[in-house]
Amino acid sequence: MSAWWQGAVVYQIYPRSFSDTNGDGIGDLKGIESKLDYVASLGVDAIWLSPVHPSPNRDFGYDVANFNGVEPTLGTMADFERLIAEAHKRGLKVILDEVLAHTSDQHAWFLESLSSRDNAKADWYVWVDPREDGTAPNNWLSVFGGPAWSYHPVRRQYYFHKFLKSQPKLNLRNPDALAAALDVLKFWLDRSVDGFRLDVANSYFHDDQLRDNPAVPMAERTNHHWAHAPNLQHRTRDSNLPENREVLDKIRAVVDAYDNRFVFGEFSEEPSLLGHFAGRDHGLHTGYTFTFLEDRSFKPAVFAKHYEFLNAIEGLWPCVTFSNHDVPRAVTRYGRTMEADPALAKLALTLLMTLKGTVLLYQGEELGLPDGPIERHQIRDPVGELYFPYAKGRDPCRTPMPWVQGKPNVGFGYGEPWLPVAPMHAALAAVTQERDVASTLQFARKLIALRKKHPALALGDIKVTGATDQILAFERIGGSDHITCVFNLSKSEATVPFDKAGEALLTVGSAARAGGSLILGPRSAIII
């Protein structure tokens, strides 16, 4: 029997931007609770909450100051417990985002660790003496820019931070630090959480010899990504070590000790290690790479090649996602636009919901939201602060969720929001789309229902049968259920040989059979 998370659709909520009930401009747990009926109406199986723990919010929750509490701007522990109970009443499971690779520099663990070289937590973080000339111990670069080492005058040592200097890296080779990290998971599992998404789950261990990261050859470097470090180095020493699996196995054992729980991870680098870090009998239950999240081409070959890679990994159940809080939204990436494009949104949703795997659906993706515009003075993301005007960081994909057109802040809340409401999102508000039978929202509901109805779509195997410059075709097979999916991802009409019988379950754009051919209009698809 399949686990509940296999074939599930998990709806990601970025709490600060979902719904604000107290007028402080920041979304909160009560706001999420107030929208649970809406979320349940989509037909999704679970919600994934981006971090809800106390934080200085230099990286908006991904710099945790206390793993066992709730961020006061989001609510209280009582609010959280009520949210869990109300979600469960509606058949929704709740997944927490946990950041176990690092903490905030305001966490009590780090404050104790930096106080001396011989305290109880002295080795809970990665501290290294300077080289003879006073410089950092190696060439490791922060993902957010600059060296991955910062000097601290109290210990007269450098500490390692893969991201911001305010996010010191935990040393999970220390057994006490690792035990404390695992206790975090037990704390929340005991409070009826159904699982976890693990941030940078490839980064728990680093090379204890502190060898340099190897350089990426000049010809292979790219400039499409805001973070320069991934373009300059292979991240094989500061993270992505094969022995990282040891931590993942321990995490899996903790989660599997509780009934019917789920843990998946973000593997943002070295995708070839995915099968080593997740699988049926080892590592996490599943995980996702950034192959689709960073793709801007929307080319059939990207999807065909990635599923060829996934299908070759024995025992791996895939996890598929097109959008989240770290990357431009799919409509903006694929359409190269900040404007609404319902046709493209529906096509992308159809592809997402017909691919094999656990599906992650980002808030607003069901509405077809593009990124929101951000001006220099409105930037909150530290990445935008570093790279503007070359890149605006991650704020554009994090703007407030539009609920009701015509209400202040499109129904997000009555206080000035922490990020500006995107003007083009007003016409895409949830209530507006509820009233339109042809809307992207109604289409998304139909898609999720179709996925649930057909075992081949939810749990079946996938076989790619064609990938040209225009066409992506694949079969989904689950027992006696056999479904054919043909997509024209291009902006021009395409004709392909096609002799399969069967009723069309769903059509996007235009699709017509003519003799032994299938004629698909631009950005169109047919599911048979």
Give a yes or no: residue 170 inside a domain: no
Q: Is pLDDT at 348 greater than 80 in this prediction?
A: yes
Distances (CA, A) of 164 to 57, 102, 406: 12, 10, 39
Q: Which of 394, 423, 451 is the last residue of a domain?
A: 451
Give a yes or no: residue 55 inside a domain: yes
Give a yes or no: residue 73 inside a domain: yes
250 vs 261: CA distance, rounded Å: 15
* Preceding peptide of 420 cis, ω within 30°: no
Decide: 95 and 197 in contact? Cβ < 8 Å: yes
What mean pLDDT comes out for the span 217-223? 79
Residues 33 and 180 in one domain: yes
279 vs 100: CA distance, rounded Å: 20
Give the pLDDT confidence score for residue 49 in this predicted structure.
99
Residues 22 and 79 in one domain: yes
Residues 121 and 189 in one domain: no
Tens of pLDDT, residue by residue over 108-156, are: 999 999 999 999 999 999 999 999 999 999 999 999 889 999 999 999 9
User: If pLDDT is split at 50, 70 and 90, which confidence band does 227 have?
Assistant: low
Residues 362 and 418 in one domain: yes
Q: Is pLDDT at 226 greater than 60 in this prediction?
A: no
User: If pLDDT is split at 50, 70 and 90, which confidence band does 501 have?
Assistant: confident
**At a CB cut-off of 8 Å and minimum separation 6, what does 68 contact?**
53, 184, 187
Residues 25 and 73 in one domain: yes
Residues 437 and 465 in one domain: no
Give the pLDDT confidence score for residue 341 in this predicted structure.
96
Closest by CA to 391, choosing from 402, 412, 376, 405, is 376
Give the pLDDT confidence score for residue 387 in this predicted structure.
86
Give a yes or no: residue 211 inside a domain: no
Give the pLDDT confidence score for residue 265 in this predicted structure.
99
Give the domain range for residue 123: 108-160
Give the pLDDT confidence score for residue 223 in this predicted structure.
60
Give a yes or no: residue 3 inside a domain: no
Give a yes or no: residue 192 inside a domain: yes
Give the pLDDT confidence score for residue 419 in this predicted structure.
99
Q: Which of 451, 484, 511 is the last residue of a domain?
A: 451
Round the average pLDDT of the chain to a whole number and report it: 97
For position 391, which CATH number holds?
A: 3.20.20.80
For tokens 């929307």, name the residue: 298
What mean pLDDT comes out for the span 340-360? 98
Q: Which of 451, 479, 506 is the last residue of a domain?
A: 451
Residues 518 and 469 in one domain: yes
Give a yes or no: residue 221 inside a domain: no
As given in the structure block, the two tokens for residue 291 are 């192959």
Tens of pLDDT, residue by residue over 298-333, are: 999 999 999 999 999 999 999 999 999 999 999 999
Q: Is pLDDT at 271 greater than 80 in this prediction?
A: yes
Q: Is pLDDT at 230 greater than 80 in this prediction?
A: no
Give the pLDDT confidence score for residue 221 in this predicted structure.
80
Tens of pLDDT, residue by residue over 50-107, are: 999 999 999 999 999 999 999 999 999 999 999 999 999 999 999 999 999 999 999 9
As given in the structure block, the two tokens for residue 78 are 């009582």
- Is residue 436 left, alpha or beta, with left meaning phi > 0 and alpha meaning psi from -120 to 50? beta
What mean pLDDT comes out for the span 270-285? 97
Q: Is the pTM of this model over 0.95?
A: yes
Decide: 60 and 16 in contact? Cβ < 8 Å: yes
What mean pLDDT comes out for the span 155-184? 99
Q: Cite the beta strand spans of 39-123 per DSSP E.
A: 46-49, 93-98
Give a yes or no: residue 520 inside a domain: yes
Residues 378 and 306 in one domain: yes
For position 473, which CATH number holds?
A: 2.60.40.1180
Residues 123 and 198 in one domain: no
Q: Is pLDDT at 518 greater than 90 in this prediction?
A: yes
The alpha carbons of the chain give a radius of gyration, in whole angstroms, of: 23
User: If pLDDT is split at 50, 70 and 90, which confidence band does 337 have?
Assistant: confident
Residues 58 and 198 in one domain: yes
For tokens 């728990």, name the residue: 204
Tens of pLDDT, residue by residue over 189-207, are: 999 999 999 999 999 999 9
Residues 97 and 114 in one domain: no
What mean pLDDT comes out for the span 452-474? 98
Decide: 468 and 492 in contact? Cβ < 8 Å: no
How many domains does the chain divide into?
3
For position 122, which CATH number holds?
A: 3.90.400.10
Residues 371 and 474 in one domain: no
